[in-house]
Amino acid sequence: MTMCVNDNITALYNAQKAAQPAVQQKVSPAVNNNATNFSATNTAPKQPTNKSETLKKIGVGVCSALGVAASLAILSKFDKSHKYSLKPSKIFGGKIKDSYLANATYKTKEIVSMGAGSILGGLAGGYLFDGKSNMNAKKREAITQMINISFPIAFVESLSTLGSKLAQKTMPRMLESKNLFKKLVGNLPACAGAAIGLATGIILGNKVSNKVNEKIFHKKDHRPIEITDMSAHVDDMCMAATLVAPNNILTKTVSRIIPVALSIPGYETGIKKETQPETK
């Protein structure tokens, strides 16, 4: 009988020992998975919320607008007419129609100055609201935007002026005619010069900016021409229109939106982020 009991105990012990690895095998993956999930949950980087991104964009937009405003203030201070003042009482107490903003003729110097102010403001806003992590991307975008503003406006002004002089020499009667059709024909050389200058400046400026960024930052990102870049060319078209029809009330009125359009390059600079790892 003792032998029987011992045999039964031995059999139970062996069965229990054989069952232990299977139980451990079933339990371990679940425990490991839970531990992995817990670790992943706790180590995953926090994604910025929509609210924080919106606040960043608002901050950058304000800084960009302040940059344009600062450029306008400097331009008005050094205006040849010497009739504008930076005193708050004069700025806020005077009539809008008598302000620099309402009367300035925006040409290459004025547009490049406002563009530079916008971009510097956007860079400052990007640093303040987005930190240092994407500053190289913002610096590259600043160079791109500055060239994107400078090249087309220089080409537009030079080629439209050349076309206007050509028309004055070859068809002066057309320009002086009261007939709308003849006047339009007389202005065609200036319009063609502006169109060619704009297209040349946009394409050449994009190629040059990519080359400059590649040399400075050792990064081949080959940034394409983007839709938002067109905001910087509103000024080109407005300036071309004022050169073709300098005394036209419509062209003068439309050109007042140039400072607003030039705040967009600064905004785009300030919100720029790295899209891929940098290569040295």
Using one digit for the tens of pLDDT, what is the confidence trace for 239-253?
777 776 767 777 778
Task: Please state whether 223 falls in left (phi above 0), alpha (psi between -120 and 50) or beta.
Answer: beta
Does the pLDDT value for residue 277 go beyond 60? Answer: no
Q: Answer whether residue 230 shows pLDDT above 90.
A: no
Q: How many CB atoms are located within 10 Å of the residue 29 CB?
A: 9
CA 65 to CA 259: how far, in whole Å? 9
Residues 6+ apart with CB under 8 A from 267: 57, 60, 61, 64, 118, 122
Q: Is residue 120 part of a domain?
A: yes
Q: Is residue 55 included in any domain, yes or no?
A: yes
Q: Is residue 106 a part of any domain in this protein?
A: yes
Does 194 fall in a domain?
A: yes
Tell which residue, 110, 128, 132, has the closest CA to residue 62: 128
- Whether 280 is covered by a domain: the verdict is no
Highest mean pLDDT among 83-97, 115-129, 187-201: 115-129
Whole-number pLDDT of residue 140: 93
DSSP 8-class letter at 97? G
Q: Quote the pLDDT of residue 255.
A: 83
Closest CA to 104 of 270, 257, 264, 225: 257
Structural domain harbouring 167: 50-270
Q: Is the pLDDT of residue 28 over 50?
A: no
Has residue 254 been placed in a domain?
A: yes
pLDDT at residue 236 in the model:
76
Least confident of 31-35, 50-54, 157-161, 232-236: 31-35
Give pLDDT tens digits for 46-92. Answer: 555 788 889 999 999 999 999 999 999 999 988 888 788 777 777 77
Please state the domain count of the chain.
1
Q: Give a yes or no: residue 135 inside a domain.
A: yes
In a domain, 19, yes or no: no
Model pTM? Answer: 0.74
Q: Do the Cβ atoms of 113 and 70 come closer than 8 Å?
A: no
> Hey, is 55 helix, strand or coil?
helix
Picking from 155, 272, 157, 138, the residue whose alpha carbon sits closest to that of residue 204 is 155
Burial 143-182 (b: 16+ CB within 10 A, else e): bbbbbbbbbbbbbbbebbbebbeebeeebeebeeeeeeee
- Residue 106 has what pLDDT? 86
DSSP at 271: T
Angle at 6 between CA 5 and CA 8, to 5 degrees: 65
